[in-house]
Amino acid sequence: MSVPEVLAGLRRAEREAGRSAGSARLVAVTKGHTLDEIDMHILAHGAFPLGESRGQELRDKSTLRPELEWHFIGPLQRNKVKYLNRVTLIHTIEAVWQAEAIAQAAQGWGHAPDVLIQLHNGEPQKHGVSAHDLPATVNAVRATGLQVSGVMVIAPDMAAGADPTGILRVFQETATRAHDLGLSELSMGMSADYPLAVQAGATLIRVGRSLFT
């Protein structure tokens, strides 16, 4: 697939969900791909935010191409915070200390990224805060001065036996939790499951593999 094919699939999913065209935006996940590949496969088709999940790789690419819009979508370790100075949105805040570290670093950067809180999806070994802890986490992250604009979730893995019904339910529950807290940005859906995420209200889909193959 390619960017035009994924965009066509996105527009179709919006239409089928009764949503307006463009209400879900593509975040092009570019981890593991060179800047040349990104130019050829992604940016030739338009301007899209680029999602990176590894600290050093993000630093290297965003330093060379600071004019592009960079999002961080990976697990955030303390020693990686310094690589996020060109990021406009962090999708994966799952602990208050991460927000405190970003807010502190942002004072030196002179600007702060917005953040999403990652919700746990119920699978063992997965990242994110529980639904129970979400409201308190949102409040504590806001207290650092960062802007919390929404919620992110990674669906249970189809390869590990999750079925579309269960995945849709996780997306719908995530949308409900975000809505209950007045949070509008919903980062959910990847190559395998983004139509379900759009059906449930995703505003940002994070698609990687499908854009390059």
Which one among 53, 137, 144, 149 touches ligand PLP, defined by CB under 6 A? 53
Using CB under 6 A as the binding rule, the residues of this chain from 93 to 132 that contact ligand PLP are none
Residue 53 CA, distance from chain mean position: 10
Closer by beta carbon to ligand PLP, 128 or else 201: 128
DSSP string, 120-134: P-S-TT--SB-TTTH
CA dist., res. 47 & res. 106, Å (int): 25
The site for ligand PLP, by CB under 6 A, has a size of 13
CB of 97 to ligand PLP, least distance (A): 20
Q: Does residue 206 belong to the site contacting ligand PLP (CB under 6 A)?
A: yes
3-class DSSP assignment, residue 93 = strand
**53-57, long-range: CB < 8 A, 24+ apart:** 53/29, 55/79, 55/80, 55/83, 55/84, 56/80, 56/83, 57/31, 57/32
Tell me the window of 109-117, 178-186, 195-203, 205-213 that interacts with ligand PLP (CB under 6 A): 205-213
Which one among 49, 55, 201, 208 touches ligand PLP, defined by CB under 6 A? 208
Task: For residue 42, give every residue at least 6 positions away whose Cβ sits within 8 Å of its Cβ, in sequence order, or none.
Answer: 3, 28, 30, 48, 50, 211
CA dist., res. 194 & res. 35, Å (int): 25
User: Which alpha helices (DSSP H) does 3-149 contain, by range?
Assistant: 3-16, 35-41, 55-64, 96-109, 134-143
Q: Does residue 31 belong to the site contacting ligand PLP (CB under 6 A)?
A: yes
Closer by beta carbon to ligand PLP, 43 or else 192: 192
Tell me which residue has its CB nearest to ligand PLP: 208
Closer by beta carbon to ligand PLP, 57 or else 60: 57
Closer by beta carbon to ligand PLP, 145 or else 191: 191
Q: Does residue 172 belong to the site contacting ligand PLP (CB under 6 A)?
A: no
3-class DSSP assignment, residue 115 = strand
Residue 1 DSSP class: -
Which one among 10, 73, 81, 102 touches ligand PLP, defined by CB under 6 A? 73
Q: Does residue 190 belong to the site contacting ligand PLP (CB under 6 A)?
A: yes
Which residues contact ligand PLP (rule: CB under 6 A)? 29, 31, 53, 73, 154, 190-192, 206-210
